[in-house]
Amino acid sequence: MTYRGPYKVRVEEKDRPRIEHPNDAIVRVTLAAICGSDLHLYHGLMPDTRIGHTFGHEFIGVVDEVGSSVEGLEVGDRVMVPFNIYCGSCWFCARGLYSNCHNVNPNATAIGGIYGYSHSTGGYDGGQAEYVRVPFADVGPMVIPEWLADEDALMLTDAFSTGYFGAQLGDIVEGDTVVVLGAGPVGLAAARSAWLMGAGRVIAIDQLDYRLEKAASFAFAETRNYTHYDDIVVEMKKTTGGLGADVVIDAVGAEADGNLVQHVTSAKLKLQGGSPVALNWAIDGVRKGGTVSVMGAYGPLFSAVKFGDAMNKGLTLRMNQAPVKRQWPRLLEHIEAGYLKPSEMITHRIPLEHIAEGYHLFSSKLDGCIKTVVVPGS
């Protein structure tokens, strides 16, 4: 697929990517997914998104070619690829901050490399395609265990790993009340993961009833539809006996609804880096001394965040793009133990040829859409 400007994508024939560095691999994509953060690109919110760019940072596939210095992969290996592109050896990677790699994104120092996510993250085409260039093949990709289903592996390349990481950034301790704002894939994963860390209550908040139903069935969460309350922050206080939640996870990000002015000035008029509605609800709904974990993606411009409340309440704000591969060994243990089944978040599967419809379906939240998988060559 290629980007043709805000709200427009189409399928085009492009040259097959080629090895550009000795540690590159070329992967033939077997499954890709559309991420909620892809919608920020699709809506024209991410600076330096160029015409012809191929999106897609969630994909799995089969190794089709390897560069001369690749030692850990062979042609034919079935691999899952984390959305982060990283070298494994810079100051940040040496400390496990894989999503903050300094050696792969010349366009910005504030963000690492991401597949198919504009030139602001390095200018790499993504995996909503038949083939993709995978830099640092000895560092990022992992051979998929034989027992792991393709769709479960696909969900680990970003959405589920990010939700799991977000729950960890909440520093949850046994008995904590955890509120998750947003019941999309990352929110569902965060809500489900909060229990693993000992949460006593998990409450999912969204405006879409079908997603809240999924939060109840998939993530065992209590649910609140914020449109049913005059002020969702007051409800967050009431349901916790006036205290506020111990942990609030923002799994919404730049296009948050709930405040028309904030949404229109950011998502529509691009005057802010993102609509901070969810983030402000998190700051106001968490208890004093509590923790806000931010997994929602925001653009690089400023946003109208209520920072004074965060300071006065003594909050801990934690956030990062997830260093995905750090999460995998433990998540594989949990899947193998039967605790998690990430592919249950998938609602739609579409051929790559129909990707424009896939984007519209996901963007407009039609037909009960939660997670859309793209199938090349189908």
Partner 1 sequence: MPYTADKPVPPPTAEELRARVPGWGADLDPADRPAWPKERFAPGVSGAHWDYPDEQQPREGRERSIEHLQLTPVFGTAQPLHGLSGAIRRFAYDRFSEGRAAHWLLLVAGDRVESTGAHLRSLLTLRPDNPVTETGVLSELHRHPIASRRGRVDVRHQVLDPVIVAGPWLLAGGVAWMLARRLLRR
Site for partner 1 in 59-118 (CB under 8 A): 69, 71-72, 85-89, 93-98, 102-110, 113
Distance CA 204, CA 206 (A): 7
Write down the residue that tokens 């100051």 correspond to: 91
Per-residue mark of binding to partner 1, 210-239 (x: CB under 8 A): ----------x------x-----------x
Burial class (CB in 10 A: 0-12, 13-18, 19+), 150: middle
Site for partner 1 in 309-338 (CB under 8 A): 323, 326-327, 329-330, 334, 337-338
Distance CA 19, CA 65 (A): 8
| 358 scored as a contact of partner 1 (CB under 8 A) | yes
Least Å distance, CB 28 to partner 1, is 18
Sequence-distant (6+) residues with CB within 8 A of 227 are 207
Distance CA 94, CA 367 (A): 44
Least Å distance, CB 221 to partner 1, is 10
Measuring CA to CA, which residue among 194, 190, 173, 171 is closest to residue 181? 190
Give the one residue of 27, 28, 38, 54 binding partner 1; rule: CB under 8 A: 54
CA torsion 272-277-279-282 (nearest 10°) is 170
Least Å distance, CB 338 to partner 1, is 7
Q: CB of 324 within 8 A of CB of 82?
A: yes
Give the one residue of 148, 216, 233, 243 binding partner 1; rule: CB under 8 A: 243
Site for partner 1 in 273-312 (CB under 8 A): 273, 287, 299-302
Size, binding site for partner 1 by CB under 8 A: 118
Per-residue mark of binding to partner 1, 164-203 (x: CB under 8 A): xx--xx-xxxxxxx---------------x-xxxx-xx--
Give the one residue of 62, 78, 365, 375 binding partner 1; rule: CB under 8 A: 365
Least Å distance, CB 154 to partner 1, is 19
Site for partner 1 in 8-37 (CB under 8 A): 8-10, 20-23
**H runs (alpha helix) in 104-208:** 150-156, 159-169, 185-196
Distance CA 198, CA 224 (A): 21
Q: Which is nearer to partner 1, 96 or 377 (CB)?
A: 96
